[in-house]
């Protein structure tokens, strides 16, 4: 019994958590999405726990594996290689900014997605008869999350990206620290970057993508259930407006993507003399791609929202017809109108209130998107570009603008 409890705590793959009752327990604890590549490996090595991810410790370990050996190998190669390495803004942004942001983004996504998923039951959107199917959907999500094939695939794809990236770029176009000063071939730092540093960064990126796939699939499974939606709900999403808050869980991931591109742009702007405006379409494309990527799962619920809108329009339109006929019969049915108590009758107020409710059904959104959450994602993605812009602007011009604003 103690061994089984310990295995459950450590998130061992293939244990009893596939059972619906155990799956609902993980849903209640908020750890439904606490796994997958590369977290499961770290759980096994006791580097993290499902409820305590030890972000700072893991970030320092990430830097010790990806960055420190590069410095050592570059220093052994000579002062020129070391200076080239330390001045690489793209390298610094990838491993000192993007990597830790991806690690922190894991914790944020796990917490936010777990909280949103738990509300389907807590707010009684899943009808009682479909509780077993909902539990089965949660259990299926756990099996997908902890599938060993996903971990192996993430590792192989990340390694392939690291090797292919270094092989496709001509050796003469690689940075000085990437090349050996003796024979001009790939240096030890270059090999370490291609086989270890870059693949580890990509494992974190692929882990974020895998969590996004799990979230999309979970919403798709939920959309097949009988949901107790409310077409006249004030959130204009039939009560599912809380699902749109899931976008917040990916803000740090979007910021990490921005940091990776911002580092490359900084290299061109600060070292290459390019103007920041030259990259405006590239930056805008990243923002659009990030928004589309992390709001796409919400479309899984669109069929349910469309169904709720149709049902609401049918029911409330029928009610409006009944009220409208009764209103006309009472006021225009040939009886003399008693104009003295016209202001005391509630007929007009009832009709107005009902028609406002019908307008709310008509305005029901077919995507449970939260615009404030999307704005936060856009801001997080653009934030890493602020230092690049400030570094490209002359200091005296910045100070002059600040003085102008203050006067």
Its domain, for residue 29, covers 1-228
Looking at the chain, the whole-number percentage of residues with pLDDT higher than 70 is 83
Q: Answer yes or no: is 399 within a domain.
A: no
CA-based radius of gyration for the chain: 28
The answer to whether residue 284 is domain-embedded is no
- Cβ–Cβ < 8 Å for 158, 199: yes
| Residue 88 is assigned to a structural domain of this protein | yes
pLDDT surpasses 90 at 73: yes
Query: Residue 171: what pLDDT?
Result: 80
Q: What DSSP assignment string belongs to 295-315? A: HGGGGGGHHHHHHHHHHHHHH
What is the total count of domains within the chain?
A: 1
pLDDT at 11 exceeding the cut of 50: no
What per-residue confidence (pLDDT) applies to 36?
A: 86
| Burial 290-303, CB ≥16 within 10 A → b, else e | bbebbbebbbbbee
- List, for residues 316-349, the tens digit of each pLDDT value: 777 777 766 776 666 666 555 555 555 455 555 6
Q: In this structure, is residue 354 part of a structural domain?
A: no
Instruction: Enumerate the β-bridge partners of residue 186.
Output: 179
Query: What percent of the chain stands above pLDDT 90?
Result: 54
Residue 259 lies in a domain: no
Question: Up-side HSE of residue 350: CA atoms within 13 Å toward CB?
Answer: 11
Quickly state the pLDDT bin for 10 (edges 50, 70, 90).
very low
Alpha carbons 246 and 293: distance in angstroms, whole number: 12
With 70 as the cut, is the pLDDT of residue 29 above it?
Answer: yes
Does residue 252 sit within a domain? no
Confidence of residue 168 (pLDDT cuts 50, 70, 90): confident
The rounded distance, in Å, linking the Cα atoms of 203 and 210 is 10
Give the chain's largest Cα–Cα span. Answer: 107
Could you tell me the two tokens for 288? 């659009």
Cα–Cα distance, 180 to 2 (Å, whole number): 54
User: Is residue 92 domain-resident?
Assistant: yes
What is the tens place of the pLDDT at every residue in 81-140? 999 999 999 999 999 999 999 999 999 999 999 999 999 988 889 988 999 999 999 999
């Amino acid at each position: 019994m103690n061994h089984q409890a310990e295995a459950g705590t450590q998130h061992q793959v293939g244990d009893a958590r596939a059972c619906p009752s155990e799956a609902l327990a993980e849903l209640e604890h908020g750890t439904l999405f606490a796994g997958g590549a590369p977290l499961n490996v770290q759980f096994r090595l006791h580097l993290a726990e499902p409820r305590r991810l030890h972000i700072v410790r893991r970030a320092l370990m990430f830097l010790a594996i990806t960055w420190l050996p590069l410095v050592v190998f570059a220093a052994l190669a000579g002062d020129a290689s070391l200076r080239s390495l330390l001045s690489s803004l793209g390298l610094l942004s990838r491993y000192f900014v993007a990597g830790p942001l991806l690690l922190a983004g894991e914790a944020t996504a796990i917490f936010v997605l777990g909280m949103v998923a738990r509300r389907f039951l807590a707010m009684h959107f899943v009808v009682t008869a479909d509780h077993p199917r909902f539990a089965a959907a949660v259990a299926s999500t756990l099996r997908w999350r902890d599938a060993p094939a996903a971990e192996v695939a993430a590792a192989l794809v990340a390694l392939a990206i690291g090797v292919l990236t270094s092989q496709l770029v001509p050796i003469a176009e690689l940075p000085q620290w990437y090349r050996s000063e003796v024979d001009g071939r790939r240096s030890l730092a270059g090999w370490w970057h291609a086989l270890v540093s870059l693949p580890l960064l990509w494992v974190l990126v692929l882990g974020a993508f895998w969590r996004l796939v799990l979230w999309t699939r979970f919403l798709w499974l939920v959309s097949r259930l009988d949901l107790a939606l409310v077409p006249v709900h004030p959130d204009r999403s039939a009560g599912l407006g809380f699902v749109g808050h899931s976008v917040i869980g990916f803000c740090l991931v979007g910021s990490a993507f921005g940091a990776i591109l911002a580092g490359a742009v900084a290299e061109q702007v600060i070292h290459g003399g390019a103007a920041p405006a030259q990259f405006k379409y590239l930056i805008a494309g990243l923002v659009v791609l990030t928004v589309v990527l992390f709001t796409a799962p919400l479309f899984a619920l669109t069929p349910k929202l469309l169904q709720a809108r149709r049902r609401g329009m049918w029911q409330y339109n029928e009610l409006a017809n009944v009220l409208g006929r009764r209103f006309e019969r009472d006021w225009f049915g040939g009886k003399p109108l008693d104009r003295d108590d016209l202001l005391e009758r509630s007929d007009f107020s009832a009709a107005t209130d009902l028609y406002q409710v019908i307008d709310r059904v008509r305005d029901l959104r077919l995507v449970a998107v939260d615009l404030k959450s999307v704005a936060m994602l856009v801001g997080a993605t653009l934030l890493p570009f602020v230092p690049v812009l400030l570094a490209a602007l002359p200091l005296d011009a910045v100070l002059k603008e600040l003085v102008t604003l203050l006067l």
